[in-house]
Structure 1
């Protein structure tokens, strides 16, 4: 059990977690919500193998290819910014349920798109849903999870994201192998996204609202009923008392505004959050997830071989997140980030170095694939899930949606810039300088984490808010979990 005391007021430790019927309910809630992550992963990863068919069927130029690929990220940036505010106002549950409907409509529209212009519109709408889910689902999971399991539950969303990307790579490989000669094979690839959209809608209809959001709106009786379904009675009452105490100490615990961001400690948090968001995207992970097939082809694989080999990146991503889930609470968020950025720096250097010293041919292709898989494994096992986790837990309740929206807006815009420029940069200067640049950026992120990022593991959301506001987060460590 985690037991911590804030510097300003001693708190009674929460009753320990125990297993029971409420545990099964909690597991069902987590699964239902994380279908949003599955959609996130599939819709961002499916374009990887669909581009060749798209180019032929819709007569794409290099510009329209880049536009169709990256317009989803523009929608995601806007969705992340606006949907967070909407979730603060109307609740986490109705917001995610509405996003499921948008996922379904946009996915279906993409399948039947007659022109690249129409496809761009539907992919923009998909982006709105992806961005909205990337903000709201982690916040929902963070607010509904017990402190001791928050790291594991929130990072399950990252597991679903990489599972969605793996599913996209696998579907692309299978469909590409079976119907590769069909001109509109990309439509079959995109059609699969309709199924998890239905699952997310059904799952969220059955899920409860976030108890912390309910209490922030003064709906205490409803919040207690939700907690009693997913905790023991004693634990439910204790958590409710803890959240209520913080709400009483903070008379502004309502909808946050931009004025709240002027508070020095909140502004500092926002800057750290933005730094984490940018650092995650500058790892270059989405250059591999979006253009991995093309990178492997340039390294020496055939088109068919690249489609199949690309599945390896998806498999290692899932395995890495599973490993990360097991150890994230034991070693802490900050240590994971330090190790992760050190590892990605090394593997970017090795990918670039391989293209210099290994002659063109199968050997270079295989060595490059191995280092890409190692890079994906390190990144997805550490940096990927931990940054989403920290963004979901570090901001105070009253501005959680607003602050998440701003940081994830920056995240998606950085994703857009990197994804748009990556193929241009590779074509202009080659793979070697491109990955050397990524290595330098990852090294800078490593020093950023060392200097500015505190540890958030081992504290409840309410304790985190108090310790950030007083500065105790930088000076006091929580007691280890037993």
Structure 2
């Protein structure tokens, strides 16, 4: 087998064509991406629920940041543990387990009588979010035919931002119907139990990953799954592909801490970790989690802010959709630098408008326009691109180990920003906080221009050979 693991394989028969396998694969894609929808909803719902929650449970800026960010700490743990559980017990088994955790966490949050118990169940919910963030894309990649792998895996990213948008819309509807109830936030949270149940029921009827089955020596079971998801000739021919991919996966798990002794590998891991840090220090999740509160500070009424915040969710979906269309047409470095430039510009405009504009009826709408422009720019560039680059820059033998470490750092940075945003705004105000984000964006431009390598237009192996030769 060649170093790419694909160059010397015989062409496979086409995977398309009408038949039960087409509907079956479509059902797999719909059901599995409910995990992404839950990821988005559970991270976004806090945005509109926070104000009534603060009034009901007596949250301070510090406990507010803790209750919101504890989900992200749980997600970091879930991402680290979820991958190992999926390797040991199977992708489908793990998603079933996570759907049960989603249900328990959601009901626990909705019924929590104190902020301490709410925080506990948000940590549980975060574990499910993190586990889903690692397991669902792997499951989709392993059941999809190679021709459709990119589009099917990308659906999960679209479902995540769609889940956040759905959370903002549901919040706006609920607050305008039951807004006078002090426990209205509980209604917002409990809605997530519906897709969690749908995920549980749906996954019971779906097959296990054929690649995972083959990696456990269960070739007959793997072939039976492929025959459910492919035309008959393609299913038979693809077994060799499944074995080859399982071998590549085995090789990708041989890396460990000792590989960091190589200068070029250590440099790539540090670049990957820094990409994750800079992505989160744009402050995107301060908008996704606290956008309603930010818009209230800008001058919207409580109900008006929740309604206006739906624009952030809509433009998040639009931004990711545009980013996916552009991502293979523009060089990675140019797209990163352009993204940082746009993000930094809109950070400055948010801070300047919050500071300099008089308190008129137009001011909150001006701030909203700049916030929406920031969200669109971020989700159309750094949002999907950082994840893509993390999958491209590491050599095969250390890919899983290195990406796992970088994603863990990314989640921890997310949690730090989430925890620190309310106290920072309380201490500094909106404008200085966004000026700090703008300063970090300038550092991001310098970082990309001086250290981040270009990966577009080169195979993973070509990139590895060239980078090793340059920095060994």
Inter-partner Cα distance in structure 1 for 2:333 and 2:144: 20
The residue that corresponds to 1:431 in the other structure is: 430
Q: Which moved more, 1:350-359 or 1:256-265?
A: 256-265
| Post-superposition offset of 1:45 | 1.1
| Post-superposition offset of 1:171 | 1.5
Contact 2:346–2:373, Cα closer than 8 Å, also in 1: yes
| Superposed CA offset, 1:397-456 (max 9, x none) | 776654443222211110111111122222222222222222232333344445424436
Q: Is 1:372–2:402 an aligned residue pair?
A: no
The residue that corresponds to 2:108 in the other structure is: 109
Alignment of 1:274-285 (within 5 A): 274-285=273-284
Q: Which moved more, 1:218-227 or 1:37-46?
A: 218-227
The residue that corresponds to 2:418 in the other structure is: 419
Q: Which moved more, 1:154-163 or 1:261-270?
A: 261-270
Q: Which moved more, 1:217-226 or 1:292-301?
A: 217-226
The residue that corresponds to 2:34 in the other structure is: 35
Contact 1:96–1:133, Cα closer than 8 Å, also in 2: yes
Contact 1:138–1:388, Cα closer than 8 Å, also in 2: no
Instruction: Specify whether residues 403 and 116 from structure 1 end up closer, same or farther in structure 2 by C-alpha distance, changes over 3 A only.
Output: same
The residue that corresponds to 1:20 in the other structure is: 18
3-state SS of 2:240 partner: helix
3-state SS of 1:183 partner: coil
The residue that corresponds to 1:168 in the other structure is: 167
The residue that corresponds to 2:83 in the other structure is: 84
Instruction: Specify whether residues 307 and 144 from structure 1 end up closer, same or farther in structure 2 by C-alpha distance, changes over 3 A only.
Output: same
| Post-superposition offset of 1:72 | 1.0
Task: Considering Cα pairs closer than 8 Å and 6+ residues apart, tell me whether 1 or 2 has the greater RCO.
Answer: 1
3-state SS of 2:251 partner: coil
The residue that corresponds to 1:150 in the other structure is: 149
| Post-superposition offset of 1:61 | 2.8
Contact 1:269–1:394, Cα closer than 8 Å, also in 2: yes
Inter-partner Cα distance in structure 1 for 2:48 and 2:249: 52
What TM-score do the two structures reach when normalised by structure 2? Answer: 0.87
Instruction: Specify whether residues 311 and 200 from structure 1 end up closer, same or farther in structure 2 by C-alpha distance, changes over 3 A only.
Output: same
| Superposed CA offset, 1:21-44 (max 9, x none) | 333322221111111111111111
| Post-superposition offset of 1:368 | 1.0
Contact 1:155–1:386, Cα closer than 8 Å, also in 2: no
The residue that corresponds to 1:258 in the other structure is: 256
Inter-partner Cα distance in structure 2 for 1:44 and 1:60: 18
Inter-partner Cα distance in structure 2 for 1:457 and 1:190: 44
Instruction: Specify whether residues 352 and 229 from structure 1 end up closer, same or farther in structure 2 by C-alpha distance, changes over 3 A only.
Output: same
The residue that corresponds to 1:479 in the other structure is: none
| Post-superposition offset of 1:339 | 3.8
Instruction: Specify whether residues 89 and 337 from structure 1 end up closer, same or farther in structure 2 by C-alpha distance, changes over 3 A only.
Output: farther
What TM-score do the two structures reach when normalised by structure 1? Answer: 0.85
The residue that corresponds to 1:180 in the other structure is: 179
Inter-partner Cα distance in structure 2 for 1:469 and 1:107: 43
Instruction: Specify whether residues 389 and 208 from structure 1 end up closer, same or farther in structure 2 by C-alpha distance, changes over 3 A only.
Output: farther
| Post-superposition offset of 1:355 | 2.6
- The runs of 5 or more residues in structure 1 that have no matched partner are 476-482
Inter-partner Cα distance in structure 1 for 2:231 and 2:50: 51
- The runs of 5 or more residues in structure 2 that have no matched partner are none
Alignment of 1:279-298 (within 5 A): 279-298=278-297
Q: Which moved more, 1:71-80 or 1:141-150?
A: 141-150
Instruction: Specify whether residues 9 and 113 from structure 1 end up closer, same or farther in structure 2 by C-alpha distance, changes over 3 A only.
Output: closer
| Post-superposition offset of 1:291 | 0.9
| Superposed CA offset, 1:319-340 (max 9, x none) | 2333334444455766654443
Contact 2:273–2:409, Cα closer than 8 Å, also in 1: yes
| Post-superposition offset of 1:310 | 0.5
Inter-partner Cα distance in structure 2 for 1:111 and 1:8: 49
| Post-superposition offset of 1:98 | 0.5
Contact 1:86–1:95, Cα closer than 8 Å, also in 2: yes
Contact 2:61–2:422, Cα closer than 8 Å, also in 1: no
Q: Which moved more, 1:148-157 or 1:252-261?
A: 252-261
Instruction: Specify whether residues 6 and 159 from structure 1 end up closer, same or farther in structure 2 by C-alpha distance, changes over 3 A only.
Output: closer
Inter-partner Cα distance in structure 2 for 1:86 and 1:468: 31
Instruction: Specify whether residues 17 and 63 from structure 1 end up closer, same or farther in structure 2 by C-alpha distance, changes over 3 A only.
Output: same
Contact 1:135–1:401, Cα closer than 8 Å, also in 2: no
| Post-superposition offset of 1:85 | 1.9
Q: Which moved more, 1:186-195 or 1:199-208?
A: 199-208
The residue that corresponds to 1:206 in the other structure is: 205
Inter-partner Cα distance in structure 2 for 1:23 and 1:253: 32
Inter-partner Cα distance in structure 2 for 1:316 and 1:474: 42
| Post-superposition offset of 1:254 | 8.1
Contact 1:216–1:247, Cα closer than 8 Å, also in 2: yes
| Superposed CA offset, 1:228-247 (max 9, x none) | 43344555455543453466
| Superposed CA offset, 1:317-364 (max 9, x none) | 122333334444455766654443332222222222323432233222
